[in-house]
Amino acid sequence: MRKTLVRTIFSLLEKDPGVVLVTADLGYSVFEPLAAQKPGNIINVGIAEANMIGVSSGLALCGKRPIAYSITPFIAIRDLEQVRVDVCYHNQPVIMVGAGAGLCYGSLGPTHHGTEDIALMRAMPNIAVLAPCDPHELEALLLQAYSRAGPAYIRIGRATEPAVYTDEKKPAVQLGKGIVVKEYGQGFALIACGNMVHVGLQALEKLHQQGIDGKLVSMHTIKPLDAALVASLAATSPIATLEEHTIIGGLGSAVAESLADQGIRAPLLRIAIPDTFQKKVGTHDFLRKQNRIDPDSVASRISELIKGKK
């Protein structure tokens, strides 16, 4: 994902030399080509995330197009006041990229877990909140965020996430519109975002083998949410949401709010991290199993939803 980020920044620089990557002393082994070829288009502010956002806002006020980069908890929590006041209040076209979303940095503990960022960012006026599931979605959404007036937050994984779209013909990606990734039937609709879309795809296949057929949706844009797609899914299927984020304020909350705002009553299962810090230390996969957001647990929980509906 990070290599795609750099490649896309290079493509933006070809048409706009005002694009500037601002990093808080992160991105080593990734940003060196950019620093070598475009040294005037990258700024390392050091371990000073709040300053990074202030600098990015200042660059935007001067007509530049900054892309601020850090790991998820640092860019969404450590500098939240600057995001709110410097960027969102002034509706500045600053793109903020948070890497290592969710539990990607599992063994480093809660200080490095990015599990509240969607809730915090989507509460800010003017901002688009995006969670691409793989390089294909990231490239398209970054380009569209650049073309959009106003700030954007893009939540990405670390470096090892598998591609979701493996066929030569890949679906069109449009900011604000979800994508039906795979469909077997109308038994359920699983709406996932970011690094959970691939987990959802594995769960979908497991359920298909059990004779439970549904569909998987990548809801890469959490704000503005695709309310029309949510309504369409609810009309035919019970819905489950899947995210590597606290159950409060994330994708599941956004879908629940959308259903309520549209006056739609439908079965809804929110699969997410419980409202607690991670007290155990372990790998990414270990923590997913602990929180029942691994493929086997997701398949089991959706199966229980279907049986409960019947």
Identify the domain containing residue 300 by its residue range: 179-309
**Mean pLDDT across 65-85:** 96
Nearest Cα to Cα of residue 291 among 142, 113, 29, 108: 113
- Mean pLDDT, the chain, whole residue set: 95
**Mean pLDDT across 18-42:** 91
User: Alpha-carbon torsion 48, 53, 59, 61, what sign?
Assistant: negative
Of 24-28, 76-80, 227-231, 297-301, give the lowest mean pLDDT range.
24-28
Task: Based on the fold, state whether residues 98 and 230 are members of the same structural domain.
Answer: no
**Mean pLDDT across 115-130:** 98
Q: How far apart are CA 155 and CA 220, in angstroms?
A: 10
The pTM for the full model equals 0.96
The first and second tokens of residue 249, run together, are 């304020």
71 three-class SS: strand
In a domain, 162, yes or no: no
Q: Which band of pLDDT confidence, cut at 50, 70 and 90, is reported for residue 80?
A: very high
Q: How far apart are CA 49 and CA 222, in angstroms?
A: 24
Task: Based on the fold, state whether residues 134 and 224 are members of the same structural domain.
Answer: no
Task: Based on the fold, state whether residues 7 and 121 are members of the same structural domain.
Answer: yes
Other Cβ atoms closer than 10 A to 130:
28
Answer for the pair 20, 66: CB distance below 8 angstroms, yes or no.
yes
In a domain, 171, yes or no: no
Task: Please count the structural domains in the chain.
Answer: 2
CA atoms within 13 A on the CB side of 33: 10
Q: Which of 123, 155, 187 is the last residue of a domain?
A: 155
Query: What Å distances lie between residue 136 and 95, 99, 100, CA to CA?
Result: 18, 16, 18
**Mean pLDDT across 139-163:** 93
Task: Based on the fold, state whether residues 119 and 198 are members of the same structural domain.
Answer: no
Of 27-41, 181-195, 204-218, give the lowest mean pLDDT range.
27-41
User: Alpha-carbon torsion 34, 40, 46, 47, what sign?
Assistant: negative
Task: Based on the fold, state whether residues 145 and 257 are members of the same structural domain.
Answer: no
Task: Based on the fold, state whether residues 37 and 150 are members of the same structural domain.
Answer: yes
- Contact residues for 44 (Cβ-Cβ < 8 A; gap 6+): 23, 24, 25
Task: Based on the fold, state whether residues 99 and 218 are members of the same structural domain.
Answer: no
- List the CATH number of the domain containing 227: 3.40.50.920
Q: Which pLDDT score, from 0 to 100, does residue 169 have?
A: 87
Q: Tens digit of pLDDT for each residue in 227-279?
A: 999 999 999 999 999 999 999 999 999 999 999 999 999 999 999 999 999 99
Q: Which pLDDT score, from 0 to 100, does residue 158 have?
A: 82
In a domain, 163, yes or no: no
Q: Which band of pLDDT confidence, cut at 50, 70 and 90, is reported for residue 1?
A: confident
Cα-to-chain-centroid distance, residue 30: 20
In a domain, 213, yes or no: yes
Q: Which band of pLDDT confidence, cut at 50, 70 and 90, is reported for residue 159?
A: confident
In a domain, 165, yes or no: no
Q: How far apart are CA 146 and CA 94, in angstroms?
A: 9
Q: Which pLDDT score, from 0 to 100, does residue 309 have?
A: 60
67-87 residues labelled b (16+ CB within 10 A) or e (exposed): bbbbbbbbbbbbbbebbbebb
In a domain, 146, yes or no: yes
Residue 262 backbone phi and psi in degrees, to 5: -90, 0
Burial class (CB in 10 A: 0-12, 13-18, 19+), 44: middle
Task: Based on the fold, state whether residues 139 and 209 are members of the same structural domain.
Answer: no
- For every residue of 139-204, DSSP letters joined together read HHHHHHHHHSSS-EEEE---S-PPPS--SSSPPP-BTTB-EEEEES-SS-EEEE-TTHHHHHHHHH
- List the CATH number of the domain containing 49: 3.40.50.970
Q: Which pLDDT score, from 0 to 100, does residue 27 have?
A: 82
Task: Based on the fold, state whether residues 67 and 99 are members of the same structural domain.
Answer: yes
Residue 76: pLDDT above 90? yes
In a domain, 164, yes or no: no
Query: What Å distances lie between residue 214 and 41, 203, 308, CA to CA?
Result: 46, 10, 16
Task: Based on the fold, state whether residues 84 and 185 are members of the same structural domain.
Answer: no
Task: Based on the fold, state whether residues 255 and 302 are members of the same structural domain.
Answer: yes
Task: Based on the fold, state whether residues 39 and 94 are members of the same structural domain.
Answer: yes
